[in-house]
């Protein structure tokens, strides 16, 4: 162990000097500080700005209001920058979406507490495979208005999970992280959300065809 070290650093005193150099405080000048911040901002933007659409999409679906969504996205980016030091992962989109989601809920709580409570009658809303499947009819329709209406009728936790799965194509694991639910809950919540959406669509389509 000692031999290779000696070979690399023939003199002990040289070795010692080297460590002293590192310990010394080197106050950075203003320009250097600026450069470091520039660099941080550049890497933040490179990692996070590509997910701007995803951020806007989630916020808009959660808040159902364009202006609120934009405000939340902007606020979320600021929050993300502030805690960027704590981001070491590779999944920038999931990390950003978690912040967007939390920021959205903060605003929703402030605005309309009612929206967050999901009262749910499991019996009535149980997915019923035997009933008419509205998807076939949905397939025919060109306009997205119907789905948007149906989605907007769902509680926030269902809108959120449908958006993350269907529009972002995220895995159950990623969804669990973002929505802060146990991974085992993702499948059942998705099933309930889809069932509820289907129920609403079936009712709407049934009404129109009458």
List the interface residues with another protein, window 173-192 (CB under 8 A): 180-182, 184-185, 187, 190-191
CA angle, corner 191, sides to 163 and 103, nearest 5?
35
Map the footprint of another protein across residues 35-74, applying CB under 8 A: 36-38, 40-41, 44-45, 49, 52-53, 55-57, 60-61, 66, 69-70, 73-74
| Contact between 118 and another protein per CB under 8 A | yes
Backbone angles phi and psi of 78, in degrees to 5: -65, -45
- CB of 9 or CB of 171, closer to another protein: 171
Which residues neighbour 173 within 8 Å (Cβ) at sequence distance 6 or greater? 183
Closer Cβ to another protein, 60 or 97, answer by number: 60
List, as one string, the DSSP characters of 109-141.
Answer: HHH-GGGG-----HHHH---TTSPPHHHHHHH-
Q: Does the footprint of another protein cover residue 121 (CB under 8 A)?
A: yes
Binding residues among 131-160 for another protein as defined by CB under 8 A: 133-136, 138-139, 141, 144, 146-148, 151, 157
Residue from 6, 9, 33, 112 in contact with another protein (CB under 8 A): 33
| CA dihedral angle for residue 206, residue 129, residue 185, residue 60, rounded to 10 degrees | -20
Q: Give yes or no for residue 87 binding another protein (CB under 8 A).
A: no
């Amino acid at each position: 162990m000692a031999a290779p070290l000696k070979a690399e650093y023939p003199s002990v005193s040289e070795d010692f000097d080297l460590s002293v150099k590192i310990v010394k405080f080197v106050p950075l000048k203003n320009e250097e500080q600026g450069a470091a911040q520039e660099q941080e901002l550049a890497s933040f933007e490179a990692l996070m700005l590509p997910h701007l659409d995803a951020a806007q999409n989630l916020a808009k679906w959660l808040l159902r209001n364009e202006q609120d969504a934009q405000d939340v996205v902007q606020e979320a980016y600021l929050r993300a920058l502030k805690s960027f030091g704590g981001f070491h992962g590779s999944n920038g989109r999931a990390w950003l979406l978690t912040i967007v989601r939390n920021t959205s809920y903060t605003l929703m709580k402030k605005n309309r507490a009612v929206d967050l409570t999901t009262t749910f009658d499991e019996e009535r809303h149980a997915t019923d495979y035997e009933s008419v499947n509205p998807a076939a009819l949905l397939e025919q329709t060109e306009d997205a208005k119907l789905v948007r209406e149906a989605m907007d009728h769902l509680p926030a936790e269902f809108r959120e999970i449908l958006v993350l799965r269907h529009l972002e194509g995220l895995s159950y694991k990623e969804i669990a992280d973002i929505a802060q639910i146990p991974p085992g809950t993702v499948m059942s919540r998705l099933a309930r959300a889809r069932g509820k959406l289907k129920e609403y669509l079936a009712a709407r389509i049934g009404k129109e065809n009458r």
